[in-house]
Structure 1
Amino acid sequence: MWFDTHCHLDFPEFSSNSQAYRKLFSQHEILRFFVPSVGPENWQAVLQLKQRQSHQVGLGIHPCFLQPLIEKNILQQSLNDLRTLAVQNQTQLSAIGECGLDKRIDVPIATQLSAFHFQIELAEQLQLPLVIHSVHQHHNVYASLKMRSRDNLGVVHAFSGNYQQAKSLIDLGLKIGVGGVITWPTAQKTREAIAKIPLDCIVLETDAPDMRIFGGSQQPNSPHFLPKIFNQLVLLREESTSILADSIWKNSVSLFQR
């Protein structure tokens, strides 16, 4: 049985064909899902998914979705709305996120950091883990959280980096989200990192419908591909298949405790 710790099941790829996908999930024993939000436009849709017992959800503002809020001059209001909605629904939430930092986008890093720090504070207030998006920004994520170190601080999802970066994040109390990146032969530094980090900090994810696996078809990525990612992980690690599977399930349940 599998827990996809990061998938966007509210996105049209799934919501428009949910029955067929549910059948695939069942066939591949994908039993639990964590669904993050990306901004105000999908907060309510994500909260509605909580009605399914197998789904856990988070509220946040993804860095790549900041620009429209900035252009409309509503970023601060949106952050305030996020706090209000999260407090109102805190018993329904398993995390704050998706939030974080991304070097590829045009939003100034100072603005990204301000929005990220707001969500860090919110997670502290509600004692929830963070679901962190970090693209070429692991140093700034570390700097933002080094005074917040605690058990179950959260997860850096879709990790793509080297061992030293992974270890610094793990030392803060973060888990590492392992996804389709490790299926790509070109991702050698990340594959080497995932081979070496402690087993108790690894969780699996697809980031569906994004982050396609190597050799995948042109169809959207999906939680039912999670076993393919696990099969690659087995090739990288020294533990037995059964130990890996059991530990990753326990790690995932521990990360999202409610």
Structure 2
Amino acid sequence: MIDSHCHLDFPAFDLDRDQVLLKCAQLGVNSIVIPGTQASMWLRQILLCESYSQLKFALGLHPYFLHNYRTEQLQLLDQQLSLHQGKVVAVGEIGLDFSLPTDEVLQERVFSEQLNLAHQHRLPVIVHHRQSHNALIRLLKKSTFCNGGIIHAFSGSLQEARAYIDLGFKLGIGGTITYPRAKKTRAVIAQVPLSSLVLETDAPDMPINSKQGERNSPSYLPLILDALQALRTEPENDVKQACWQNTLNILPNISN
């Protein structure tokens, strides 16, 4: 299994990161993607991934941290993508979060500029969304970007899911589907093509059902897979194999 989105570099894991990774390996979670969030954290990410063979990294500017944004951060991102060519798996976590006080015009500009960098470096993207599906789909359609990627923690409508899939994206499936009350998201995930799904935890955030209030962990990925298998009509092993292959297809540098 591959956890396509986990912030294992966050301080929440500083005391037991080795133990968490050992447990993941025992459970068959053999690759974990750590998305970037802000320029000041990129070096920490890269050094961490160089220390553990099962960790892979993406680099990007998350909309949550744009209050510290400076234009030279895009230049630095361009440099780091070149320096780590073949190792960096995606540009991300990038996107739009309209629940934040950050200027929406600035968010859209930085997102579009990061799409351009991903296009230039022939990399997929990992996309964050909140109250922003319409704007994201509009900008993706307008852009020359064509490398696809993952819509992180997808929770939109079936129409939005199909729009992203038509644009070459996979849908990141995490702890939300473990909650019976998440009827809309569960119904959508049951209907979209199996070829469009990848697994993720977003640890230490987005705890799964029965673990509310606790630190989320990539070791819970098998429980998310269990929930997905229960929603799908395909044989359980087909679901597991498809999620693994889908992730490799959209993030091919994982295998490097």
TM range (shorter): over 0.9
The TM-score, its normalising length taken from structure 1, stands at: 0.93
Residue matched to 1:46: 45
Is 213-222 or 149-158 further displaced after alignment?
149-158
Tell me if the contact between 1:58 and 1:98 (Cα under 8 Å) persists in the aligned partners: yes
Q: Which piece of structure 1 moves more, 202-211 or 16-25? A: 16-25
Q: What is the rounded CA distance, in whole Å, between the counterparts of 1:38 and 1:239 in structure 2?
A: 35
Partner AA of 1:145 in structure 2: L
The gaps in structure 1 that reach 5 residues or longer are 70-74
Asked if structure 2 preserves the Cα contact closer than 8 Å seen for 1:132 and 1:155, the reply is yes
| Paired residue secondary structure (2:33) | strand
> In the TM superposition, what whole-angstrom CA distance separates every residue of 1:203-258 from its partner, at most 9, and x where no partner exists?
00000000111111533100110111111111111111011011111011112111
Equivalents in 2 of 1:240, 1:90: separation in Å? Answer: 37
Sequence identity of aligned pairs in percent? 36
Equivalent position amino acid for 2:87 in 1 = Q
Between stretches 46-55 and 195-204, larger displacement belongs to: 46-55
Amino acid at match of 1:48: L
After TM superposition, the score normalised by the length of structure 2 is: 0.94
| Secondary structure of residue in 2 paired with 1:23 | helix
Question: What secondary structure does 2:209 align onto?
Answer: coil
Q: 1:235 to 1:152 in 2, by over 3 A?
A: farther
Residue 233 of structure 1 corresponds to 228
Tell me, yes or no, if the aligned pair for 1:64 and 1:102 is still in contact at 8 Å: yes
Check 1:13–1:161 CA distance in 2 against 1; reply closer, same or farther (3 A cut).
same
Which segments of 5 or more consecutive residues in structure 2 lack a partner in the other structure?
Answer: none
Which residue of structure 2 aligns with residue 72 of structure 1? none
| 1:1-258 → structure 2 map (5 Å cutoff) | 2-51=1-50, 52-69=52-69, 75-148=70-143, 152-258=147-253
Of the structure 1 ranges 185-194 and 110-119, higher mean CA displacement relative to structure 2 is found in: 185-194
Q: Once the 2 structures are TM-superposed, how far is the Cα of residue 86 of structure 1 from its aligned partner? A: 1.7
Q: Partners of 2:47 and 2:56 in 1: how far apart?
A: 10
* Secondary structure, aligned partner of 2:92: strand
Alignment: residue pair count: 252
Taking the aligned partners of 2:177 and 2:67, their CA distance within structure 1 comes to 30
What displacement does 1:68 show?
2.6
Aligned-residue CA RMSD (Å)? 1.5
Structure 1 stretches of at least 4 aligned residues deviating more than 2 Å after TM superposition = 147-152
Counterpart AA for 1:134? H
1:117 and 1:191 map into 2 onto residues whose CA distance is 30
AA in 2 matched with 1:186: R
Q: Could you tell me whether the CA contact under 8 Å between 1:163 and 1:189 is conserved in 2?
A: no
For residues 148 and 196 of structure 1, the distance between their equivalents in structure 2, rounded to whole angstroms, comes to: 28
**Which letter does structure 2 place at the counterpart of 1:99?**
I
Looking at structure 1, the residues matched to 34 and 72 of structure 2 have their Cα atoms a distance apart, in angstroms, of 23
| More divergent stretch after superposition (180-189 vs 165-174) | 180-189
1:36, 1:58 within 8 Å by CA — same for their partners in 2?
yes
Which secondary structure does the structure 2 equivalent of 1:33 belong to? strand
For residues 29 and 57 of structure 2, the distance between their equivalents in structure 1, rounded to whole angstroms, comes to: 16
